[in-house]
Amino acid sequence: MQKAKILVTRKLPDEVENRLMDTFETILNPDDTHLSAEKLIQHSQDVDGILCTPNNQIGADLIAQFSDRIKIISTFSVGYEHIDVAAAIKRGITVTNTPGAVTEATADIALLLMLGASRRAYEGERMIRTDSWPGWTPTQLLGIGLQGKRLGILGMGRIGQAVATRAKAFGMVVHYHNRNPVEFDATYHKDAEDLLKVSDVLSLHFPLTAETKKFLNKDRIDLLPPNAVVVNTARGGVIDDEALIAALKSGRVAAAGLDVFDGEPHLNPTYRDLENTFLLPHLGTATMETRVDMGHCAIDNLVAFFKGQEPPNPVVG
C-alpha cells in the first residue's frame, strides 16, 4: 500500500521524526525554519496531510488556497486557535490536536509560576546574579504564602484538575468555574465572576476563542480579592495586557506568573520592567517526555485517519 505523504512544519524530537519516516513518506524541516504561507501552499500540492505547530497560522485564506489533496491537519498542540477549523471542515479537511499528552508538564509549570510570582523569585534571583544581595534580613523580599489561600481555576479540564491536585498538596483551597461541574473535591462556581471574587490566586486554563479573547479585563480584575496573584498557562490572548499591567503597577494585583503572551514572542515589553512578574518563554510542555508524547499523539491521529478510522483527538470546531 502506498504511504501517505506528510509535511512536518517544524523540527521535532528525533524519536518522533524517526517514527514519522517509518510510517509515512515525510517532508521534514531539519533546519527548523519558519515556512511561509507561500511555502505551505506550494507543499500542499504534493502532500496528503500537514503536521503543524502553533507557529503556523493556518487561516481561512490559506486553507482556501490548499490543494484538494490535503485531507488532514494534525497540530502538535492542544490549542488550535491558529487553525480556522470551520474553514478546514468546510473543505473536507480533518483537524486533530494532542490534548492528553500535555497535562502533567503544563500543570507543573502552573505551580512553578504560582510559587515564582508569589515568592518574588525573579527579584531574588536577580539580586544573586547581580551580586547585590546584602545578606539575609527579617523583612527582605517578603512574599505571599500559598497555604490556606483560595485557588480559583478557570477551566477545569485535564490540566485544571492536575493543577488542583498539586495545589491541594500545598494546602490551598480549590474553587473552580467550568461550563459544567466535574467530579473533583472542590467548590464549583457556575459564574466565572463569582469565582473571581474568591480567587486569592487565579489560574487560567481555557482555550482562546473569539468569546474568551481578553477575558481577564479591567472589570474582571477588579473583582479579585486584594493582593491576588494571576497565573496564565493557557494562551496569552485571554488576558487584556494593558489592564493587567495597570493592576500590577498600582498594586491592585500583587503579582503575575505568565508562561504565554499575546503576540508571542513579541510580548508587551512593559511586563519585562515590572518586578512583580515571573515570566517564562512558553515552557508549559517543554520536557523531552512531553514533547515526544505529543509527537506520538499527533502521529496516532494521522495513522488512524489514513486507516479510515476516527482519529483519537478530532477537533470539531
| Active-site residue list | 235, 264, 282
Residues near 26 by beta carbon (within 8 Å), at least 6 away in sequence: 5, 6, 8, 17, 20
Cβ count near 138 (within 10 Å)? 5
Bridge partners (DSSP) listed for residue 257: 231, 278
| Nearest alpha-carbon partner for 274 in 244, 248, 242 | 248
Kindly report the backbone phi and psi dihedral angles of residue 230, in degrees, each rounded to the nearest multiple of 5, phi listed first: -110, 130
Q: How far apart are CA 192 and CA 230, in angstroms?
A: 15
Burial (Cβ within 10 Å: 0-12, 13-18, ≥19) of residue 31: exposed
Taken as a whole, the chain contains a residue count of 317
Give the DSSP H or E segment for 168: helix 158-169
Kindly report the backbone phi and psi dihedral angles of residue 58, in degrees, each rounded to the nearest multiple of 5, phi listed first: -115, 80
Q: How far apart are CA 231 and CA 160, in angstroms?
A: 12
Q: How far apart are CA 51 and CA 54, in angstroms?
A: 11
Q: How far apart are CA 138 and CA 98, in angstroms?
A: 47
CB 252 within 8 A of CB 222: yes
Give the DSSP H or E segment for 118: helix 103-118
CB 101 within 8 A of CB 290: yes
Q: How far apart are CA 9 and CA 95, in angstroms?
A: 15
